[in-house]
Amino acid sequence: RKEVEQDPGPFNVPEGATVAFNCTYSNSASQSFFWYRQDCRKEPKLLMSVYSSGNEDGRFTAQLNRASQYISLLIRDSKLSDSATYLCAQPQDDKIIFGKGTRLHILP
């Protein structure tokens, strides 16, 4: 099975800083990728979709690097409320495969 890999963290970042983390994938056939946010003991919620040209939504920017087979998530001007686990996901055949997530702690 082709994997989706993430650094588990935790990333401890002061409020207001910029933080970025990556997700590597091995199935090069995928055309789309997704970033989800999961709060403790809650379900994952879609944060951003990532296609060939990347995506930006306010303080969040997602990029796709096909040559190196990774997607990235950049969070600018981080807020305390950004503290969560961030999961990347990749459709593979008829399934959707998730990474194990990166834990982010924003420090006051």
Partner 1 sequence: DGGITQSPKYLFRKEGQNVTLSCEQNLNHDAMYWYRQDPGQGLRLIYYSQIVNDFQKGDIAEGYSVSREKKESFPLTVTSAQKNPTAFYLCASSTGTGYTEAFFGQGTRLTVV
| Contact residue for partner 1 among 42, 56, 69, 78 (CB under 8 A) | 42
CA 65/CA 54 separation, integer angstroms: 9
Helices and strands, counts by H and E, the chain: 0, 11
Whether omega for the bond prior to residue 10 falls within 30 degrees of 0, making it cis, is: yes
Nearer to partner 1, 45 or 79 (CB): 45
The 3-state DSSP class for residue 80 equals: helix
Binding track, positions 74-93, relative to partner 1; x by CB under 8 A: -------------x-x-x-x
Between strands 102-107 and 11-14, the pairing is parallel
| Contact residue for partner 1 among 28, 67, 95, 108 (CB under 8 A) | 95
| Contact residue for partner 1 among 23, 34, 83, 106 (CB under 8 A) | 34
CA 84/CA 92 separation, integer angstroms: 25
| Contact residue for partner 1 among 41, 52, 53, 68 (CB under 8 A) | 41
> Interface residues with partner 1 (CB under 8 A)?
1, 31-32, 34, 41-46, 49, 87, 89, 91, 93-101
